[in-house]
Amino acid sequence: MVLPEAHEVAPRLTAGAFILNAGLSMLRADQATAEGLHGMASTAYPFLRNVPAERFTRLLACSEIAVGGALLAPFVPTRLAGLALTGFSGGLVGLYLRLPGMRESGSLRPTQDGIVLAKDSWLLGIGLGLLSASARRRSRAHRHHGHCHCHCRCR
């Protein structure tokens, strides 16, 4: 088991706690909240229209709990945690980019209403950072061992 390196701990803890809390809170969502979340998501991602609002909200909550837990659990490899966070946050950024009224016309700059979704871009940045940190670690391991058995031609 490879534990996270020191520089990976703070972003994993910050993003993990934030996402886990959101997921746990969403488990208690009432019908109006579920319908609002579902309406937003199905506007951005039309294939979600066929999923009932309560089911969508429960699945979203469980996804947030899983991603947040993966980030907080030190035994989950950083690459896997970063991949989960990047995928999840990519969907959130997609909401921002696809929903009408979230961005100023012809720009990526958020409107006042869009700030709530635009802020999720920091999660995407953390996810990509965790993925690149993991890739750098693997590259360093190949260079320093001098004997690679993965047939990657790094010799």
How does pLDDT run across 30-73, given as a tens digit for each residue? 999 999 999 999 999 999 999 999 999 999 999 999 999 999 99
With a CB cutoff of 8 Å and minimum separation 6, the contacts of 148 are 142, 154, 155
Q: Residues 96, 98, 100, 103: is their CA dihedral positive or negative?
A: positive
Q: Tabulate helix, strand, coil % of the chain (nearest 5).
A: 70, 0, 30
Q: For residues 21 and 68, is the Cβ–Cβ distance under 8 A?
A: yes
How does pLDDT run across 73-102, given as a tens digit for each residue? 999 999 999 999 999 999 999 999 999 999
From CA 81, how far away is CA 78, in angstroms rounded?
Answer: 5
**What's the pTM?**
0.82
pLDDT band of residue 4 (cuts 50, 70, 90) is confident
Token pair of 117 as six digits: 């979704």
